[in-house]
Chains A and B, each alone.
Chain A
Amino acid sequence: MSVSVKVNGVSKSFTTGKVEVKALQNISFEVSKGEVFGLIGPDGAGKTTLFRILTTLMIANKGEASVDGFDVVKQYKKIRNRVGYMPGRFSLYQDLTVEENLSFFATLFNTSLEKNYDLVKSIYQQIEPFKKRRAGALSGGMKQKLALSCALIHRPSVLFLDEPTTGVDAVSRKEFWELLRQLQTHGITIIVSTPYMDEASLCDRVALMQQGKIMEINSPKGITENFKKPLWAMRSSAMYQLMLELRALNEVETCYPFGQYHHVVFKGNPVSEDDVRRMIGNISQREIEVRRIPATIEDCFMELMHQ
């Protein structure tokens, strides 16, 4: 498969006031054509900066990057012709209607809605009933769909989506990812960032980012398989108390709250429930539910952060 996006040793820092913030430190990766590549990391990990460098909006301090074989600095005009970019903030005209926004961006790229209707059809059909409504009056999920349609209107070869699902309800998020999967069948390379770890498993490959560095790049399956230590989920009637007591134990390596359960890793990597029960024998609480679980991306992320 041919390479669509190539990043080699990119670093970028900003000076705010007198403090130098290293937004990106020596980032390198490659994305193949037609791949859905996820940048996963919390706010401030440097995802947006990386997007801006790749979409030619910023110049890196060090390193080089190319999109579709074009250099992001020297051949920026070529790149601006062929990529689709959806910034993290809703960046369409709130006072224009859905239809006007779409035709504006179509005209901007010297094309029209009719020409690329097959590509945006599945998305546009969902917002078409509201085409006379002003974009500012749409719901969060609708806004995202409109923004995606606008970013797709010129049939880009690479699509950059900066946190497209932030602030969108769970149902819309699910729909949005289904749409991305459909787009993949058109051969569009998609680079998407998200702070939601559960969305990582929907990508072909992900890069886990933290404080301007990439901690690991792999397929979601590969990342979770790399988590070698046995992981235990625990639950009791007093969850907070349980966490404090677990963390106080010498045998416990890490303990993080994950929804209804605490995910716990023990020193010495016990594999049987009896061993685990023995290790937590001194805890005041009784009736603790214990079971072994496979690691999620988030567990791996926490583990990597911990190192």
Chain B
Amino acid sequence: MRQFLFFVQKEFYHLLRDPRTMFILFGMPLMQILIFGFALTNEVKNTHIAILDNSKDPVTAEIIQELQASRYFDIVENIRSNSELEPAFQSGKIKLAVIFPPRFQYSLLHENKADVQLIADATDPNVANTLANYATAIILNYQNNMKGQEEFPYTINTEVRMLYNPQLKGSYNFVPGVMAMVLMLVCAMMTSISIVREKELGTMEIILVSPIIPIRVIIAKMVPYFLLSSVNIASILFLSVFILDVPIQGNLVLLVSECLLFTITVLALGLLISSVTDSQQIAMLISLMGLFLPTIMLSGFMFPIENMPLPLRTISNIVPAKWFYYIVKTVMIKGLGFSYVWKETLILMGMTIFFLVVSIRKFKIRLE
């Protein structure tokens, strides 16, 4: 036991004395979560729009005011004719134009019906869609307020509610994703590199020619990374709650234990990588190509898995991050209990045991 503890202590020395490692361990997670939180967001805020008001009556004035008042839009231009529309879009000044036809108020009050045209720059289809939806929502909202004053017969009302994420915030989506990425990076890549480094330096040779049981060497290597990952999990959760306003809806204990389970899964993966490689570069390449990319692409974090072709959907099942992402989303964002994630938890456990068994069997007690 003393032997084991000393080994763990030694690993901590290695970690704490290498500034680059420390940066990857603690700097990267913080940076990732902040960059994703503030910079790389597909939310719509203060988008520049233009108004072409051919009617200029009290109703259009009120609607324009509503649009201006929302934090989504910023009216930068009042266009006078259709011919000015195209240049405004082409110059990139505006992303959306709202066009009121002539006699807007008159049509609304006398024919019970009036049209508004929304023209969006669909070079980025997702943004265009979001913009159009927001504008529609604001206009419908205005209409509903009017309805309070005057009874419209026969109006069908659609009411949309965004569940779990009423403000459609991007952070709800990426906090679980970043967590999976950070744990992948810290645990899988760093452990595999640190084990392979011993092979490269030749210290593994001396350790092998000693009474220590090889598997203890490995476990001793995993312990510091496990502890540091717990620190990372805590800091990510802290940041998401207090800086990004993503609340933890579900049980914190359940959430944290699921995170720790995933940590062990990726540690085992790192171990597996280290047992099949002999150089730090290869270990790094395998971790990046074999783990990092699938985590980003196939976990459902960047692209919805439901939309993928069948082969990719099948492959995504062997990506541990997919299951972890689902669990965190379910527990943290939806606030559901263990009964909703037990299957995914079991899958992660199965994967962990599989990785551990394979890597222990593959661990070389000799140099060849």
Q: Interface residues, chain A, CB within 8 Å of chain B?
A: 52, 55-59, 76-77, 80-81, 83, 85, 87, 89-96, 100, 103-105, 107-110, 150-151
- Cβ A95 vs Cβ B366 within 8 A: no
Complex CA distance for A59 and B368, rounded to whole angstroms: 8
CB < 8 Å neighbour of A108 from B13, B202, B205, B212? B212
Q: Mark B192-212, 1 if CB is under 8 A from A, else 0.
A: 000000000111011111111
Give chain B residues whose Cβ lies under 8 Å from the Cβ of A94.
201
Q: Mark B37-71, 1 if CB is under 8 A from A, else 0.
A: 00000000000000000000000000000000000
CB < 8 Å neighbour of A57 from B201, B203, B212, B366? B366
Complex CA distance for A56 and B365, rounded to whole angstroms: 9
Give chain B residues whose Cβ lies under 8 Å from the Cβ of A90.
202
- Cβ B203 vs Cβ A91 within 8 A: yes
Closest 3 CB pairs of A and B: A91-B202, A107-B6, A85-B209
- Cβ B3 vs Cβ A108 within 8 A: yes
CB distance from A111 to the nearest CB of B (A): 10
CB < 8 Å neighbour of B3 from A56, A89, A110? A110
CB distance from B22 to the nearest CB of A (A): 13
- Cβ B10 vs Cβ A104 within 8 A: yes
- Cβ A91 vs Cβ B206 within 8 A: yes
Complex CA distance for A59 and B2, rounded to whole angstroms: 31
Give chain B residues whose Cβ lies under 8 Å from the Cβ of A93.
10, 14, 201, 203
Complex CA distance for A191 and B212, rounded to whole angstroms: 23
CB distance from A28 to the nearest CB of B (A): 22
Given A56-B366, A95-B17, do A109 and B206 touch, yes or no (CB 8 Å)? no
**B367 on interface, CB distance cutoff 8 Å:** yes
Q: Mark B1-35, 1 if CB is under 8 A from A, else 0.
A: 01100110010011001100000000000000000
Given A80-B210, A91-B205, A109-B211, do A57 and B367 touch, yes or no (CB 8 Å)? yes
Given A91-B203, A107-B2, do A58 and B211 touch, yes or no (CB 8 Å)? no
- Cβ B206 vs Cβ A57 within 8 A: no
Q: Who on chain B is nearest to A83 by CB?
A: B209
- Cβ A81 vs Cβ B211 within 8 A: yes
- Cβ B205 vs Cβ A96 within 8 A: no
Complex CA distance for A110 and B210, rounded to whole angstroms: 10
- Cβ B208 vs Cβ A57 within 8 A: yes
Complex CA distance for A60 and B79, rounded to whole angstroms: 87
How many chain B residues touch the partner (CB < 8 A)? 24
- Cβ A80 vs Cβ B208 within 8 A: yes
Complex CA distance for A69 and B10, rounded to whole angstroms: 34
CB distance from B226 to the nearest CB of A (A): 21
Complex CA distance for A87 and B202, rounded to whole angstroms: 8
CB distance from B223 to the nearest CB of A (A): 16
CB < 8 Å neighbour of A80 from B6, B14, B202, B211? B211
- Cβ B205 vs Cβ A87 within 8 A: yes
Q: Who on chain B is nearest to A147 by CB?
A: B206
Given A109-B210, A109-B211, do A103 and B205 touch, yes or no (CB 8 Å)? no
Give chain A residues whose Cβ lies under 8 Å from the Cβ of B17.
95
Give chain A residues whose Cβ lies under 8 Å from the Cβ of B207.
108
CB < 8 Å neighbour of A95 from B13, B211, B212? B13
- Cβ A56 vs Cβ B209 within 8 A: yes
- Cβ A77 vs Cβ B206 within 8 A: no
Complex CA distance for A81 and B366, rounded to whole angstroms: 15
CB distance from B100 to the nearest CB of A (A): 70
Complex CA distance for A83 and B368, rounded to whole angstroms: 20
Q: Which of A81, A91, A94 lies at the interface centre, i.e. has the most chain B CB atoms within 10 A of its CB?
A: A91
CB distance from B54 to the nearest CB of A (A): 74
Q: Who on chain A is nearest to B17 by CB?
A: A95
Give chain B residues whose Cβ lies under 8 Å from the Cβ of A52.
367
CB distance from A91 to the nearest CB of B (A): 4
Q: Which of B13, B17, B211 lies at the interface centre, i.e. has the most chain A CB atoms within 10 A of its CB?
A: B211
Give chain B residues whose Cβ lies under 8 Å from the Cβ of A55.
209
- Cβ A57 vs Cβ B10 within 8 A: no
Given A93-B14, A95-B13, A104-B6, do A59 and B366 touch, yes or no (CB 8 Å)? yes
Q: A56-B366, A105-B206, A107-B6 are in contact. List 19 more A-B contacts (CB 8 A).
A: A55-B209, A57-B209, A57-B367, A58-B366, A77-B211, A80-B211, A85-B206, A90-B202, A91-B201, A91-B205, A93-B14, A95-B14, A100-B10, A103-B6, A104-B7, A104-B10, A107-B2, A110-B2, A151-B206
